[in-house]
Amino acid sequence: MAAIAALCALLALTIPALSAPTEPRQVALPGALDPYPTKPRVTFREDGTFKITVFADLHYGENPWDAWGPEQDVNSTKLMRIVLAEEKPDYVVLNGDLITGENTFRQNSTRLIDEIVAPLNEFQLPFSSTHGNHDNEPNITHLEEIKREQLVAPLSYTRTAPPGIGGEEGPGTYWVPVYEHVDDPTPVLILWFFDSRGGWTPGSNSTPVPDWVDDSVAGWIEREIAAMDAAWGPADDTRAALAFVHIPPHAIQALQPGLNSTRDPGLNADVLGSGSTQATTNPANIGKDQPFWESLNKNVKNLHAVFSGHDHGNEWCVREPTMDVIFCFSKHSGYGGYSDSWWGHGVRNIVFPSPRPTDALDTWIRFENGTIQARVTLDSSYN
Ligand SMILES: *[C@@H]1O[C@H](CO)[C@@H](O)[C@H](O)[C@H]1NC(C)=O
Ligand SMILES: *[C@@H]1O[C@H](CO)[C@@H](O)[C@H](O)[C@H]1NC(C)=O
Ligand SMILES: *[C@@H]1O[C@H](CO)[C@@H](O)[C@H](O)[C@H]1NC(C)=O
Ligand SMILES: *[C@@H]1O[C@H](CO)[C@@H](O)[C@H](O)[C@H]1NC(C)=O
Ligand SMILES: *[C@@H]1O[C@H](CO)[C@@H](O)[C@H](O)[C@H]1NC(C)=O
């Protein structure tokens, strides 16, 4: 009898489950919007802070047929190990121009990705990348770098945009959610990454690639925000955001003459002009990134700042007044890529003091030798 009762109880439990119609999963369920179901969640520290270290313009792979190119890469890897050991970040961003693609070979260019991610794998740090104009060349593409990174770095959060988004040779547009605690239903911070393209198409009949974030990204941002709001509720009091894009938005070029070195500290040695912000090379294309820039700033709430690399001689932050958003350069990290003896190499650090979405961030430049400079607090009174 007991056995039959147990069997009945078992059937009662199992039958409804077996016969339940297979309903489609509700898209708007809290927590359902997770682009990384198989990866550990990126979270704030137990003390409520969150620190990002940005390496920019690493430029691996210069002149492999000479001694100095490979020596530069040894130096860059050494810098990464020193900085990661001392800074102990919670997340790392590689902000474009990982590789000097014009010097690499078709058969093995992506092997440089293995070298670049080795320190991140060793320190078991979650990270993701944007890609730059030097990452699109006849022998390398953004997509090839992304696929290699996904293959060889278990904690890479770099993704590709859906088909049709990002334009020619610009697949690296995506976002990464950051949670306060690992079991929370909704994130407190969204890190956005955009592909500003540039460089050259692959193959022997190579042609130039547009050097701005494609128009298609503007609508994509709006749709992603709608999906986030549906799944998690409005961002206003709940979620902060940061954005990373290799080539500075075009709107930044006009702000350099008005910089004040007390208010906007940091190296200011690269004059922005042709090719140094998005869509400046051809006068017909000036400001082609405006649909992206407007959509980003209109749709993404609590956007604390936008970070670019590309111009190795610049470290400053500034407020972009038309969109009322703060922009900051990263820091040239790699021994490869153009430089001047006194610029030094290092990283930009960004620290969230708490998970509250409107609390001001601290950010500064750290050199390889530990010296810091250009520290600013990014709050509503900044600039
Ligand atoms: C590598 O770094 C050392 C200092 O640690 C420096 O003397 C050397 O010039 C660097 N090599 C290159 C090729 O940048
Ligand atoms: C690309 O790779 C091929 C084959 O490895 C090599 O011959 C060529 O010099 C490389 N560079 C360019 C710019 O094509
Ligand atoms: C790629 O191949 C070239 C030519 O054989 C070699 O000089 C270079 O060191 C290789 N690069 C990598 C990253 O393996
Ligand atoms: C530069 O900024 C500092 C600090 O905000 C301010 O005291 C100074 O007047 C500014 N200089 C100019 C030339 O605007
Ligand atoms: C650290 O490196 C930077 C950049 O090369 C240099 O300007 C600074 O003087 C160095 N600091 C120390 C304490 O050596």
3-class SS letters over 275-327: CCCCCCCCHHHCCCCHHHHHHHHHHCCCEEEEEECCCCCECCEEEECCCCEEE
Report the C-alpha gap between 93 and 230 in whole angstroms. Answer: 28
Report the mean per-residue pLDDT for the chain: 92
Instruction: Say if residue 260's pLDDT is above 50.
Output: yes
Assigned domain for 360 exists: yes
**Ligand 1 atom 12, closest CA:** 72
Assigned domain for 329 exists: yes
Q: Which atom of ligand 2 is closest in space to residue 106's alpha carbon?
A: 2
pLDDT tens track for 16-60: 333 334 443 434 444 469 999 999 999 999 999 999 999 999 999
261 lines ligand 4 (CB under 6 A): no
The runs of H, that is alpha helices, within the chain are 2-19, 68-87, 111-122, 142-152, 216-232, 290-299
Assigned domain for 215 exists: yes
pLDDT tens track for 195-213: 999 999 999 999 999 999 9
> DSSP per residue over 137-187, as a string?
BTTB-HHHHHHHHHHH-TTB----PPTTSS-TT----EEEEEESSTT-SS-
- Using CA of residue 162, residue 195, residue 51, residue 381, what is the dihedral sign? negative
Assigned domain for 23 exists: no
Give the global pTM: 0.92
Please tell me the distance between residue 73's alpha carbon and the centre of ligand 1 in angstroms.
10
pLDDT in the model for residue 381: 85
pLDDT in the model for residue 66: 96
Please tell me the distance between residue 116's alpha carbon and the centre of ligand 1 in angstroms.
18
pLDDT in the model for residue 268: 98
Assigned domain for 22 exists: no
Domain of 48: which CATH number? Answer: 3.60.21.10
What percent of the chain is modeled with pLDDT above 90?
A: 88
| Domain that residue 203 falls in | 2-13+32-378
Count up the domains in the chain and report the number.
1
Assigned domain for 24 exists: no
pLDDT in the model for residue 281: 82
107 lines ligand 2 (CB under 6 A): yes
Instruction: Say if residue 116's pLDDT is above 70.
Output: yes
Please tell me the distance between residue 1's alpha carbon and the centre of ligand 3 in angstroms.
75
Assigned domain for 359 exists: yes
Average pLDDT over residues 268-293: 94
